[in-house]
Every structure is written in C-alpha cells, then in structure tokens.
Structure 1
Amino acid sequence: MSDLISNPVPALPLHDLDGFTHRWVDAGGVHLHAVEGGQPKGPAVVLLAGFPQNWRAWEKVMPGLTDRFHVIAIDLPGQGHSERPDDGYDTHTVAANVHAAVAEIGVHEYWLVAHDIGAWVAFSLALNYQSQLRGLVLLDAGIPGITLPETVPTDPARAHKTWHFAFHLVPDLPEILLAGREREYAHWFLTAKTFAPGTFDETDFDHYAAALATDGGLRASLAYYRAAHESARKNHQALSRQRLTFPVLGISSSHGSIPDMAASINPWADNITGLTIPDAGHFIPDEQPEAVAAALTTFMANGRNTPETCSGGR
C-alpha cells in the first residue's frame, strides 16, 4: 500500500498547505512525494516544478484550483521529499516514474502542468503517455533538444538566464564549490531570475537551500542537467514517430528565459496556443499565482485557445 511508504527525506521539515495532504507512492521503484487536495472526483491536474524548487513552487497557485480540480503536486526524484536515487535522471526515465506515481494515486487521465525542469519531464511524459493526458501546459523552460538554445549567450544581459547549464554539467566541481553555500546559491537563483520584488522571503530561501543540502539533494538536482544530452536524444527519437496532438499551452512571461514558449514548441504540436503573463520573470507561479491559476482554469475548462496575454496580479 502506498500510504504505508515512509518519508525518504525525514531530515527535511515538511511544509503543510491548508486543504492538502502529503503522501508517498511507489513510482516504479522510486518513492515519490505528492501533495494532494481539491476535488477527488474532479478532473485531475498534476503539477511539476524545477530547479532549485520542489512542489512548493505551486503552493500559491494550488488553492486557486481546488474548487474545480483534483490537484496533485509531485516532487520529482531528487526534489523535496522524494527519494534521491543514484541514477535514472534522464527525462524519459523520470517521466515513467511520475506517470507511475499518478497511476498509483488512482488517476488514469490528467492535465499536466510544469515549469523549468518539471517541463523537461512533462514534455517527455507527453510523448510517451499521450493517450492518458488531457492536455499539457509548459511554463518558461529550456527543454533539452526542444526549446533549449544550443549555445550559452555571452551578452551579460542574457547570459545570467542560462549560464548555469554549462556549470551544472561539469562533474563534481559544482558540488565542491557549493557545499555549505546552498543557501547563497538558491538565493541568487530566486532573486536574479524574478521580476517582482519580494516574491521570495527568508523562509523560502531556507527551505530550498535545506532541500538541496539534505541527503544528496544537490547531486540529484544537478543530475538532470548531466543527463540533458540523453534526454534530448530520446526526445528526438520519440518525435521521429509522433507529434503532440492534444491541447498544449505555452506560458511565457514578460521577463522570463524563453521569450515565446508556444513558438518554440509549435514544430512538434498540432494544437498549441501561447500566453504571456506580464510583470513576471522566470518563476511565474510564485510571481503571479493568481494569473497562472486563472490561465490554467480557463485552459483546462475549455481545452482550447486562451487569450495571448493574461493580466498580472498578486
């Protein structure tokens, strides 16, 4: 029984969200953490986060979805309170873990919404389990082989958005340099890549730094970047056989990393629309949660085109 699985990262304090419960499930041999709430019989929406975050990236958005949807936020392998395996971080392997976790929870058809590395995993999951997805939403993500630029820009005004890809790829050195400095590193990401001042507070910095520092969290987080080449190879292998045919929404922001998510994904999708949220940087769900919740609700309720811009709001 999945409910009997214990927390694999007990040293990291749990954060509770009103109306939601924590659970751990066996996801193809990896124990993943899920935070679940909303309408048990409503349409399911699965939320995935990226670096250096975990499910808490969605905590301001989740309450805005509970009136209509069965909401499930999942920590990827190596994130938050999920198990940190030694290997298996290419996005197709992780996608299989996430899909297995959703099935173990008892959900067999769902909307998939993902940001940053979560979107890497979500794109691969969509290629492999298309028949079980209602639709896909991808937020500001350089997906390997899809939306990720081939080269890191040298212009300082743009380089700060993608420089870390090359750094994280280097074996061992990032761990050596960042050990004991996880808080400074998380702080830099969460402030340099946001547009809205004060989006994150000291509690946020402490939590994300602790998640990286606990039980190999940093090593596991970097493993996604080190497997990016294999993820890109498997993406293109899958795309040689199919395209995405269900509704896809690409969400960009006024000051994000990928100027137009929809245009970047368009070559591989038959039914895609784009939406830009103003007054936000890379961490859109944290910076403009009400606008994100409204956009998701409209898209999932209609399963078709949404406006190309969405008004901001905090």
Structure 2
Amino acid sequence: MAVPASTARVPGNPVSGLPVPALTGFTSRWVDGGGVRLHAVEGGHPDGPAVVLLAGFPQTWWAWRKVMPALADRYHVIAIDLPGQGHSERPEGSYDTHTVAAHVHAAVQALGVSAYWLVAHDIGAWVAFSLALKYERHLRGVALLDAGIPGITLPDSVPTDPGKAWKTWHFAFHVVPGLPETLLAGHERDYVGWFLRAKAHSPGTFDDAEIEQYAATLAADGGLRAALAYYRHATESARKNHETLQRQHLTVPVLGISGSHGSIPDMAASLRPWAATATGVVVADAGHFIPDEQPGAVAAALADFITESE
C-alpha cells in the first residue's frame, strides 16, 4: 500500500529538496555503490531469496510499487534507483551500462546480498544485461521486461513508419547534443506525460500525481542530463556487450517478459542467441509499462520463474 510522499529531507539523500515516496513495509536507504551513492528501497522476507528490481526511463524505483508487496511474503525485495535516477546521486562521467552495472552490483553487495535474482525494465534491463555478463556468478537468474537493449534487442535503425516510429523515435532525439536539454527544460511534465500515457496500453494507468512525481525527479539536480546520458553512451554499451559476448554467453536462467502491446514483441526470442536458457512470457493487456499496467501478472511470472529455476 502506498502512502503519500514525505516532504522532509531524508538523511543521506543526495537529491536535495525532492520528496521521497514511501511504500508501506519497505525502507529507503542510501548505500555506497562503488563511489556513487545509490537509493535502495528494501523490504519483504529478510531470509527469502533476494530479488533486485531496476526501473527505466522516465521512471524510478516507484515503477515497482505495485509488484513489490506481491513479492514481499516470499522474497527479500530490493528496488534500486540507477545512478542519475530518482533519489540516487547524479555523477559526471560515463553512463555506459557496464560502468553503471558495477555501481549497481556494488550497492547490492553493500546491502549484504551476495546472490540474487535480477529483474529489470527498459533502461534498467540495459544495465541488467551488462551486469549479468560481468557478475553472472552472483546471479541466480535474470528477468528482462520490454527493453530495446543496445546491441542486443534494439533494432539497428529507427523506423520512419508513423505506426512504428512513435515507439523508438526518442533514441535518436536523445543523442543529439544539446537540443533535448534546450527543448525539454521546463517542459519535463509534458514529456514524461507523453511517454507514460502513449506507451501504456491503457491511458488511465498513470494519474497526474505520478506524472508530476516522475517529472520532478527528471528536473532535479542533473536528472535530465543523467537520463540522456544513458542514450548518449548506448553505442559504448553495445560495444562492451558484444566484446564480452565474444568470450561468453549467459548461462544463468533468463526470462523475457513482453507486453501484448509493448515495444519488443518477443523478448525471449531476442535474448536466445545470447543465453543458454531463455524462456518468455507475453503479458496480456499491457503496453510498455508492464509492472504498472499488470503488476499481478508480473509478480506471478517472476514467482513461477524463480520456482522453476531453483
């Protein structure tokens, strides 16, 4: 159950003046992710298998707020804001997914978790794929939700057909130097609102308060710069992915979760060339934002995946 955001500054919060939303049964904390302070929200069964959740653009850990309580009875649940996202620090430097993966894994280790299941959506899935390549021995399995992962599931070119282009046009826009910042500064709410409402199968999935919350995190303390940096370093992410894949493929169980009306029709098919075992689930009546749109189906798919893979 969600409760209203606190207006008090949370000790350790590197993003000043930005309220921290709270979720009943879960605790916010900040941990050292290899020199970058990352925001983690932790709860659930302390002795259960650890499940780490990563969100994507333009969201934060709050994207998992409906899924986390459904997992809490059986699992030690940890949702982490990526560097530059939500209430995590917004560092300068590279946001290629191998660099970011090292920060995320360090944060998980700082929480005392040595082995975990990794579940990630959108840009979170970019990071999760690279993390799995770098730290596979610490993972029990990986679930990736509707993500165009650079060099893996992302098409080589952006389509110009209006019926398809609306799903991926922003990849090209975000890498243009300077222009997105000029056009989006002060208009974060409009931009975030378009993404959340256009890419959800049901336009009523997100209310005005949620849009305002995500827009505020994007506008705060370098959030827009950091969000764009993931796209601007996507070529480097793809290069490092393929460089690593020349030496190894994923051997941990992989689950691809697609939405019936999402961006990647069959995540599992896109991942199979790179994984020893990849199974897939297509969630009905869901667009791109599957955890928000069909949280019960996502929680059930994750529980089945973990049970079947143990």
TM-score, with structure 2 as normaliser: 0.96
Partner SS, residue 241 of structure 2: helix
Contact kept, 8 Å, 1:116 with 1:141, in 2: the verdict is yes
Partner SS, residue 20 of structure 2: coil
Aligned to 2:98: 92
Partner SS, residue 282 of structure 2: strand
Please say if 1:68 is aligned against 2:77: no
Please say if 1:25 is aligned against 2:48: no
Aligned to 1:52: 58
Whichever residue aligns with residue 281 of structure 1, its letter is: G
User: Shift in Å at residue 40 of structure 1?
Assistant: 1.0
Please give the residue correspondences for 1:1-314 in structure 2 after superposition, counting only pairs within 5 Å: 6-303=12-309
Change (3 A) 1:303 1:197: same
Q: Cα RMSD (Å) of the superposition?
A: 1.0
User: Shift in Å at residue 172 of structure 1?
Assistant: 1.1
Provide the rounded CA distance (Å) in 2 between the counterparts of 1:301 and 1:104.
26
Contact kept, 8 Å, 1:39 with 1:70, in 2: the verdict is yes
Provide the rounded CA distance (Å) in 1 between the counterparts of 2:203 and 2:169.
22
Provide the rounded CA distance (Å) in 2 between the counterparts of 1:98 and 1:225.
18
Whichever residue aligns with residue 257 of structure 2, its letter is: I
User: Shift in Å at residue 226 of structure 1?
Assistant: 0.2
Contact kept, 8 Å, 1:165 with 1:225, in 2: the verdict is yes
User: Shift in Å at residue 272 of structure 1?
Assistant: 0.8
Percent identical across equivalent pairs?
A: 72
Provide the rounded CA distance (Å) in 2 between the counterparts of 1:157 and 1:267.
28
Provide the rounded CA distance (Å) in 2 between the counterparts of 1:302 and 1:261.
19
Whichever residue aligns with residue 155 of structure 1, its letter is: D
Please, which runs of 5 or more residues in structure 2 have no aligned partner? 1-9
User: Shift in Å at residue 10 of structure 1?
Assistant: 2.5
Please, which runs of 5 or more residues in structure 1 have no aligned partner? 305-314
Whichever residue aligns with residue 218 of structure 1, its letter is: L
Whichever residue aligns with residue 191 of structure 1, its letter is: R
Where has structure 1 moved over 6 Å in runs of 4 or more?
none
**Aligned residue-pair number:** 301
Provide the rounded CA distance (Å) in 1 between the counterparts of 2:128 and 2:68.
18
User: Shift in Å at residue 125 of structure 1?
Assistant: 0.1
Show CA shifts across 1:130-162 (max 9, x none): 111000000000000000000001111110000
